């Protein structure tokens, strides 16, 4: 039994040195490109910053990935960035900082991440995200007012029944 447990582990010396060197700069980014929508855990995040950013990639450098962290933007702005009628960032190999530099609100969410600090890197499907965002409907103020009135009416019925019942006693 001790031999079985020992066979689960191998010493560092028996690992392939090429694979050790390949991962020293963080996860591989061969499948990533400009316009990719990615999410990851970031080990170098400061306590007050986003530890799991959702980023539209603008640049991939040897040691860094740069892009727009969508967690710092509002829903309409995210739709504007991702939709083809807007900035068309989704899987667009020509998408870069130049496309966003005129909009200071979007520029405020532009970040640079060290590749070595990226963990659990996932590439998300932009079309799926856009479909989900398209199915979310805006709340009509008249509907909110109708709901508010219905709640008031129901509360009045409950409160008035209890008061009427106690006055008869």
Tell me the per-residue pLDDT of 39-49, one tens digit each, with 9 for 90 and over.
889 988 888 88
Q: With bands split at pLDDT 50, 70 and 90, how would you rate the model's confidence at 16? A: very low
**Residue 69: beta bridge partners?**
55
pLDDT at 139 exceeding the cut of 90: no
The runs of H, that is alpha helices, within 71-140 are 75-82, 104-107, 126-135
Assess contact for 68 and 58: CB atoms under 8 A: yes
Look at 13 and 76; give whichever has higher pLDDT.
76
| pLDDT, mean of residues 133-147 | 74
**Residue 111: beta bridge partners?**
67
Q: With bands split at pLDDT 50, 70 and 90, how would you rate the model's confidence at 69? A: very high
| pLDDT, mean of residues 78-86 | 84
pLDDT at 94 exceeding the cut of 80: yes
pLDDT at 102 exceeding the cut of 80: yes
Q: Domain coordinates of the chain in residue numbers?
A: 27-161
Q: With bands split at pLDDT 50, 70 and 90, how would you rate the model's confidence at 136? A: low
Tell me the per-residue pLDDT of 26-63, one tens digit each, with 9 for 90 and over.
445 557 788 888 888 998 888 888 899 999 999 888 88
Q: What is the mean pLDDT of the chain?
A: 76
Angstrom distance (rounded) from CA 152 to CA 65:
52
Strands laid side by side in the 37-42 sheet: 110-114, 64-69, 54-60, 37-42, 118-124
pLDDT at 123 exceeding the cut of 80: yes
């Amino acid at each position: 039994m001790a031999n079985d447990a020992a066979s689960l582990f191998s010493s560092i010396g028996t690992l392939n040195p090429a694979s050790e060197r390949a991962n020293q700069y963080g996860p591989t980014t061969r499948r990533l490109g400009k316009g990719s929508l990615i999410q990851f855990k970031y080990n170098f995040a400061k306590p007050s910053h986003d530890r799991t950013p959702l980023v539209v990639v603008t640049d991939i450098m040897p040691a860094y990935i740069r892009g727009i962290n969508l967690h710092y933007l509002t829903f309409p702005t995210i739709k504007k960035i991702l939709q083809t009628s807007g900035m068309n960032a989704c899987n667009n190999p020509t998408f870069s900082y130049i496309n966003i530099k005129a909009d200071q609100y979007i520029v405020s969410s532009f970040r640079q991440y060290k590749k070595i600090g990226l963990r659990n890197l996932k590439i998300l499907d932009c079309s799926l995200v856009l479909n989900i965002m398209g199915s979310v409907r805006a709340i009509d103020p008249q509907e909110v007012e109708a709901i508010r009135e219905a709640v008031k009416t129901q509360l009045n019925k409950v409160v008035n029944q209890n008061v009427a019942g106690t006055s008869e006693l």
